[in-house]
A and B are shown apart, each in its own frame.
Chain A
Amino acid sequence: MIAGGGALIFRLVLWLMLAPLLPGIINKVKAWVAGRRGPPVLQLYYDLARLWQKSVVMSALASPGFIIGPAVAWVALTGAALLLPLGPAGALFSFRGDFLLMIYLLALSRFGTAWAALETGSAFEGMGAAREVSYAVLTEAAVITAILSLSVHSGSTSLATMLAPSVGAGVVLLAAGLFIVLLAENCRVPFDDPNTHLELTMVHEAMVLDHSGPPLAVILHGASMKLLFFALLLTEAVLPVGNLAPMPAAGILVAGVLAVTVGVGLVESLLARLAFRRVPLLLTTAFILCLFALLLAWKGGAA
């Protein structure tokens, strides 16, 4: 199913314009819990506009990969976002096995960021990239298992039909697993602190230390799109949005994404980050939660 050009542009603009709202909401929730006023919800839009006007400082060591990496990451994320169906409206591009493409696009975007980080030749960026990639080994296993359980449950290999029905009994397991994956993939608190400024403890922030100007803006915008992507994936995997009429479905999607965002903000205000050696344990837990959801889908389908 290939949609027309108008729908493509509308969907693209919707994704690009709405994504930077989410980090703003998270920061507002954190400020509210802490009793502060906090930055305005639109802060990331101002930041992006400011960064876009600045010039780029490039290390003498860096090859053009320093600029190309963030661009590749951003394009891959946009592609993954366009593959994700939006409730009854469906996806812009939908074919058999499109979830494989989605997983590979997410991996490609991670490769782009890590590549750009290694280009600087700085030890901190290398360390951040190493951590990001080693977390990803476990989160990708969890995402693949989660999507496999959706696929087994619905008997389909295309995201649009896979995300339409509800998952039944395994829904709680799947929701918990995907929420942990969301926190890890977007470098939120139990795994990484987006506010930290201590190089030794940073993960995502350490990778982008030497980026400036438009490339940094592209990285930040890509990160916010990734957050929106995972929030939508979680909402659609848990709730049977695909079978509703357009208006209630849109309402439920917005409410779901808002609930996930506020949840992230609350987790961030109430939890401390984990010690590094404990992180694999939590990620394995997420994997096992998704694995049990898969087991339930498999067993429930046969019985």
Chain B
Amino acid sequence: MSEPLNLLIGLAMGLNLLALGSSRLLAVIRAMSVQGMVLGVMPLMIVGLSGWNVLFVAVMTVVIKGFFIPGLLRRAMRAARITREVEPIIDFVPSLLLGAGGTVAAVALARVLPLLPEHAGTLLVPGALASVLTGFVLLIGRAKAISQVCGYLILENGIYLFGLLLLEATPVLVEFGVLLDLTVGIFVTGIIMDRIQRAFDSLDTRKLTVLRE
């Protein structure tokens, strides 16, 4: 069970770095959506095809994270008519190095954590920590609202990976609730982006730092 799962988590870690290193918004969105799909099939690999509810959640995760949310973001991009370039506050090379350093640190940290024996062999914990760190770097280091949303989604992917540790203990209803929250959150962000675009003629969040009457 562990080897293919580790391979998928490794792929998710690679997609983290892809999201940090790519200079086009569409590439960041694509990396984020592929990562969501990769994460979506993981519950099936952990518990197998044991029940309909796990299968249902897996399919819904793949559909929502892989197609629905990226679709919403692309639509927001089209509607706001923004340029395709990511505007980095932290440049690509430093953010890549931060992400790689974070991944190495996460792997090193997970070795000293007192994990359950069945989780010690997998990359679940390092993968989760690395995704959370990547999400933070994207949230801090990018100027455009859409790339910040992608950062938030990658952060959520990391938390989802943590959640997989407790897959046997928590009801899948919790996962489903998280998924619903996420979708509503992206929906609201899409509306906010439209408002920012109308008010400022750009999606640069650096213009939102000054308060005025």
B100: contacting residue among A280, A288, A299, CB under 8 A: A288
The answer to whether A295 and B96 have CB atoms under 8 Å apart is no
The smallest C-beta distance from B4 to any residue of chain A, in angstroms, reads 12
Mark interface residues in B26-46 (1 if CB within 8 Å of A CB, else 0).
Answer: 000000000000000000000
The answer to whether B107 and A303 have CB atoms under 8 Å apart is no
Q: Given A281-B92, A288-B100, are A295 and B17 neighbors across the interface (CB < 8 Å)?
A: no
The answer to whether A281 and B100 have CB atoms under 8 Å apart is no
The answer to whether A281 and B107 have CB atoms under 8 Å apart is no
Q: Which residues of B contact A280 (CB under 8 A)?
A: 93
Q: Given A288-B17, A303-B121, are A281 and B93 neighbors across the interface (CB < 8 Å)?
A: yes
Q: Which of A247-303 contact B (CB under 8 A)?
A: 280-281, 284-285, 288, 291-292, 295, 299, 302-303
B104: contacting residue among A281, A284, A285, A291, CB under 8 A: A291
B163 adjacent to chain A (CB < 8 Å): no
Query: Roughly how many angstroms separate A281 CA and B96 CA in the complex, as a whole number?
Result: 8
Q: Given A295-B104, A295-B107, A299-B107, are A285 and B96 neighbors across the interface (CB < 8 Å)?
A: yes
- A interface SS class: helix
Q: Given A291-B104, A295-B104, A299-B107, are A284 and B97 neighbors across the interface (CB < 8 Å)?
A: yes
Query: Roughly how many angstroms separate A58 CA and B127 CA in the complex, as a whole number?
Result: 59
Q: Which residues of B contact A281 (CB under 8 A)?
A: 21, 92-93, 96
Query: Roughly how many angstroms separate A291 CA and B107 CA in the complex, as a whole number?
Result: 12
Query: Roughly how many angstroms separate A288 CA and B93 CA in the complex, as a whole number?
Result: 11
Residues of A in contact with B (beta carbons under 8 Å apart): 280-281, 284-285, 288, 291-292, 295, 299, 302-303
Q: Which residues of A contact B121 (CB under 8 A)?
A: 303
- B interface SS class: helix
The smallest C-beta distance from B14 to any residue of chain A, in angstroms, reads 8
Q: Given A281-B21, A303-B121, are A291 and B96 neighbors across the interface (CB < 8 Å)?
A: no
Query: Roughly how many angstroms separate A285 CA and B93 CA in the complex, as a whole number?
Result: 9
Nearest residue (CB) in B for A285 is B21
Q: Residue among B100, B111, B121 with the most chain A CB within 10 A?
A: B100
The smallest C-beta distance from A135 to any residue of chain B, in angstroms, reads 13
The answer to whether A284 and B107 have CB atoms under 8 Å apart is no
Mark interface residues in B11-29 (1 if CB within 8 Å of A CB, else 0).
Answer: 0000001000100000000
Q: Which residues of A contact B92 (CB under 8 A)?
A: 281
The answer to whether A288 and B96 have CB atoms under 8 Å apart is yes
Could you show 26 A-B contacts with beta carbons less than 8 Å apart?
A280-B93, A281-B21, A281-B92, A281-B93, A281-B96, A284-B21, A284-B93, A284-B96, A284-B97, A285-B21, A285-B96, A288-B17, A288-B96, A288-B97, A288-B100, A291-B100, A291-B104, A292-B100, A292-B103, A295-B103, A295-B104, A295-B107, A299-B107, A299-B111, A302-B111, A303-B121
Query: Roughly how many angstroms separate A50 CA and B100 CA in the complex, as a whole number?
Result: 49
Q: Which residues of A contact B107 (CB under 8 A)?
A: 295, 299
Q: Which residues of A contact B100 (CB under 8 A)?
A: 288, 291-292
Apart from A281-B93, A291-B100, A292-B103, 18 more pairs, CB < 8 Å: A280-B93, A281-B21, A281-B92, A281-B96, A284-B21, A284-B96, A284-B97, A285-B21, A288-B17, A288-B97, A291-B104, A295-B103, A295-B104, A295-B107, A299-B107, A299-B111, A302-B111, A303-B121
Q: Residue among B93, B97, B111 with the most chain A CB within 10 A?
A: B93
Query: Roughly how many angstroms separate A302 CA and B17 CA in the complex, as a whole number?
Result: 25
Q: Which residues of B contact A288 (CB under 8 A)?
A: 17, 96-97, 100
Nearest residue (CB) in A for B104 is A295
Q: Which residues of A contact B17 (CB under 8 A)?
A: 288
The smallest C-beta distance from B189 to any residue of chain A, in angstroms, reads 28
Query: Roughly how many angstroms separate A154 CA and B28 CA in the complex, as a whole number?
Result: 37
Query: Roughly how many angstroms separate A178 CA and B92 CA in the complex, as a whole number?
Result: 21
